[in-house]
Amino acid sequence: MTKETEKFEPRIVGFLCNWCSYAGADLAGTSKLKIPSSLTPIRVMCSSRIDPVLVTTAFLHGADGVLIAGCHPGDCHYDKGNYYARRRFAVLKKVIEGLGLESDRLRLSWVSASEGQRFAEVINEFNEKIKKMGPNPIKVKTSL
Amino acid sequence: MERKIGVYVCECGPNIAEKVDIDKVVGAVSSLDGVVVVEKYKLLCSADGKKFLEEEIKKHGITHLVIAACSPKQHEKTFMEVCENAGINPYLYQLANIREQCAWITEDKDEATKKAIRLIKAAIGRVKYHSSLEKKEIECNPAVLIIGGGVAGINASLELASPDRKIYLVEKTSSLGGMITNFEKTYPSMQPSSHILKQKILDMDKNENIQVFIDSNVEEIIGFFGNFEIKVKKKEVDEPAEFEVGAVMLATGSNFFDLKKTPQYGYEKFDNIFTALEFEKMNLSGEISLKNGKTPRSVAIIHCVGRDEKGYCSEICCMYSLKFIRYLKDKIPDAQVSNFYSDLCIPGKSYQKFYEQTKGKNVDFIRSTNVEVTKKENKLSIKYIDENGNKNSLLVDMVILAPAIEPTSDVSELAEIAGISQGDGGFFAEEHEKLNPVSTSTDGVYIVGCAQGPKNISDTIVQSGAAAGKILASLIPGKKMEIEVKTSHISESFCIGCKVCISVCSYGAITFDEAKKISVVNEVICRGCGNCVAACPSGAATSKHFTFKQIHQELLEAVK
């Protein structure tokens, strides 16, 4: 059983807003920081574009974790988009619990374009957490 | 039409090639559905690389292009141009970022290779669902409305006015010049302030491309960047003036903190207590005197009045207080001047020198708290707690209060009319504090000078020049303006008319069609954030180039 967990390589979907967090992730790259390969970044223009259906779909398809990252409060390129993302995130946490998932599999973080280091910290920490939590139980069920 | 996807993997010199097994990547995606060609190339963004791509697109009849290279922040536009040159729509292409977000961050080469394959597969999946988007351009009006006839508005008017760009300057008082007209001199040069303004106002009068409205207020601004309709109302005139402009600049200045809120300073209760502005005016009149006509022998200047109440430092009060010392010393050389301050704000390359040259004989700087002004016989008594926590007091003939700078009383009304928001301290909010300090959340509306926050004359001129530059660069006479293509769109047949999209849009880009009972996106105003798409409960709203299907394809690869 322990061996199984050790081998477990999560699949993490990262919805990154174009202006802050995607640029922050790029900076982590130019700074040659270590980012787990479990992350697949998906660029969106604003964190407010992240449709709750997209997040639930990601989990239903078997994502082990979903990260939503946007501009810091007050810094949104589109004025208030990140505040909408935050409200939807709060509701989504409840929704995914309803799906039988731990709400910690969904994470919201603010990462600015200059915070490459912070992006690396956020994703590494999240990756470790998801590793400890193990595979998405819905994915396990559907594969049975 | 048959879909032919071409995939090109860039080695980026050694940058990608050393960290990702490119041959393995090429092999892994070659046989995917729709893919007709997969090639690697040493440096796709080079002139040779672009030429190679163009020829490849034509040779293989590629309809959809996937490039695996660096971040879209680096070269998305480069390859869009290649598409255009090769005759395919630039939106039928997707860039997979296998450098910044793969090769450079993944330690293990096998892992990096697997991730690169995943990212390219996601891009291939996505590009299949891309649609052609057409570049959109609108006619624009190069004219500019400037609200506020102070130094910021005047400077911007002169920078912008030209035979093919008309400037409308609207000033609510009866004359131009603004706050500076009250100042005898400006710091740190101590040159007469008329040097700054007089010639400029004469130039304004002579310039036939500038139309000035005095005693007037802007009543209405409707429209969008490039095409605003303006209504200006002059006092005691019934019919408002109407005209069209392409951009709006708010240079409405600031006000002073209301001293009624700080009764401890005795303002309006005792004689011989003046606000900074009253003192400027008195000095400008030529004589500094007490109410009884006598010359003051001792003066206290109290800094930071209202700072705690407002919650910010007003930046300029320390410097103009130092200027007041100069005024006093010029007119009453033996006067004793005592400054009560909590922090001295004298930044920059020349202010420290100004301070050093101002302090000296009969000039005190007392760091203090709990300052209070009362009357003692025919003098004013300043009670305070000094730096060491001791209670102290000082008798003076005259007190000058340096109150905080705050937004003008009509700031909320103007924000509403111009469709922008208020930020810290109630001042107009800039789009980004550092990156876009003179732009606002509404395209084509700019904020300059003290309307954006307290600042000195030099910084005000810098901002008005910056905003003028932005306008000159974007509203070019005779040229059409390119607008955002990746906007939202609401399907007429799916919209249920709930108006949720209208309530979440930061730009007022969505209106309600009362006849059809549906929401409609004005694609000229829409900035393409996609918030309405996430909010729409009926799936009627979509983001062009960020559709559900396109993102869903990326998702499918991400979880494999």
Element (H, E) at B520: strand B518-521
Indicate the class that CATH gives domain B144-253+408-474. alpha beta
Using 50, 70 and 90 to split pLDDT, how confident is the model at B71? Answer: very high
pLDDT band at B40 (very low <50, low <70, confident <90, very high): very high
Q: Which residue of A has its CA nearest to B99?
A: A29
**Are A35 and B106 in contact (CB < 8 Å)?**
yes
The predicted model gives A106-125 an average pLDDT of 96
Topology alike, domains B144-253+408-474 and B259-405: yes
Q: Which residues of B touch A44 (CB under 8 A)?
A: 530, 546, 551
Q: Where are the domains of chain B?
A: 5-133, 144-253+408-474, 259-405, 484-544
DSSP string across B130-199: ------EEE-----EEEE--SHHHHHHHHHH-BTTB-EEEE-SSSSS-GGGGG-SEETTTTEETHHHHHH
Residue B188: cis peptide before it, omega within 30 degrees of 0: yes
C-alpha atoms less than 13 angstroms from C-alpha of B486 in its C-beta half-sphere: 15
SS3 B190: coil
Residues A64-86, mean pLDDT to the nearest whole number: 93
Sort out which chain B residues have CB atoms less than 8 A from A46's CB and list them. Answer: 529-531
- Asked whether the predicted pLDDT for residue A9 surpasses 50, the reply is yes
Per-residue pLDDT at B179:
95
Of B543, B552, B557, the CB nearest to A49: B543
Overall average pLDDT of the B55-71 stretch: 97
Can you name the CATH fold of B259-405? Answer: FAD/NAD(P)-binding domain (3.50.50)
Q: Is the pLDDT of residue B319 over 60?
A: yes
Contacts of B111 in chain A (CB under 8 A): 37
**What does each C-alpha distance from B257 to B170, B208, B261, B306 come to in angstroms?**
25, 38, 8, 7
- Residue A99 CA neighbour count, 13 Å, CB half: 27
User: Does the domain formed by B5-133 have CATH 2.70.50?
Assistant: no
Whether the pLDDT of residue B275 is over 70: the answer is yes
CB B446 within 8 A of CB B421: no
Q: Where residue B1 falls among pLDDT bands split at 50, 70, 90?
A: low
Q: Would you call A49 and B533 a contact, using CB atoms and an 8 Å cutoff?
A: yes
The answer to whether the beta carbons of residues B220 and B231 sit under 8 Å apart is yes
pLDDT grade for B529, boundaries at 50, 70 and 90: very high
Judge residue B238's burial from the number of C-beta atoms within 10 Å of its C-beta, 0-12 exposed, 13-18 middle, 19 or more buried.
exposed
Q: Which spans in B171-306 are helix H? A: 194-206, 276-284
Predicted confidence band of residue A2 (pLDDT cuts 50, 70, 90)? very low
What is the rounded CA–CA span in Å between residue B503 and residue B508?
A: 9
A residues 45-104 near B, CB within 8 Å? 45-46, 48-54, 57-58, 61-63, 75, 77-81, 84, 88
Q: What's the pLDDT score for residue B431?
A: 83
- State the nearest Cα–Cα gap between B24 and chain A, in angstroms: 17
Q: Whats the size of chain B, residue-wise?
A: 560
Distance CA A48, CA A78 (A): 9
- Between CA A141 and CA A139 the distance in angstroms is 5
In this prediction, residue A140 carries a pLDDT of: 53
Q: Do A58 and B551 touch (CB under 8 A)?
A: no
Chain B neighbours among A 115-144 (CB < 8 Å)?
120
Three-state secondary structure call for residue B394: strand
The mean pLDDT of A20-39, rounded to a whole number, is 96
- Tell whether B119 lies on the interface with A, counting CB pairs under 8 A: yes
Q: Give the residue from B418, B463, B415, B458 showing the smallest Cα distance to B436.
A: B463
Longest dimension (CA), chain B: 99
Span B425-434, average pLDDT: 89
CB contact under 8 A, B106 and A30: no
Residue pair B136/B482 in contact by the 8 Å Cβ criterion: yes
Chain B 437-476, CB below 8 Å of chain A: which residues?
Answer: 441
B206-244 pLDDT per residue, tens: 999 999 999 999 999 988 899 999 999 999 999 999 999
Q: What is the CATH number of domain B484-544?
A: 3.30.70.20
State yes or no: pLDDT of B362 exceeds 90.
yes
What is the Cα–Cα distance from A5 to B491, expressed in whole angstroms?
47
d(CA A78, CA B457): 31
Q: Is the pLDDT of residue B435 over 90?
A: no
- Give yes or no for a contact between B310 and B265, defined as CB atoms under 8 angstroms apart: no
Q: What is the mean pLDDT of residues B248-269?
A: 97
Which pLDDT score is estimated for B432?
80
B125 touches chain A (CB under 8 A): no
pLDDT band at B421 (very low <50, low <70, confident <90, very high): confident
Q: Which residues contact B195 (CB under 8 A, 6 or more apart)?
A: none
- Retrieve residue A51's tokens: 């449709």
Complex ipTM: 0.94
Q: Residue A144: its pLDDT value, please?
A: 36
Confidence of residue A141 (pLDDT cuts 50, 70, 90): low
Distance CA B81, CA B92 (A): 12
- The domains found in chain A, sorted by start residue, are 2-143 (3.40.50)
Residue percentage of chain A with pLDDT more than 90: 83
pLDDT tens digits along B150-197? 999 999 999 999 999 999 999 999 999 999 999 999 999 999 998 889
pLDDT tens for each residue of B471-484: 999 999 999 988 89
Measured CA to CA, the distance from residue B391 to residue B406 in angstroms comes to 31
Chain A touched by B486 (CB under 8 Å): yes
Closest chain B CA to residue A59: B559
The helix (run of H) or strand (run of E) holding residue B149 is: none
Instruction: Kindly report the average pLDDT of chain B as a whole number.
Output: 96
Q: To the nearest whole percent, how much of chain B has pLDDT over 90? A: 92
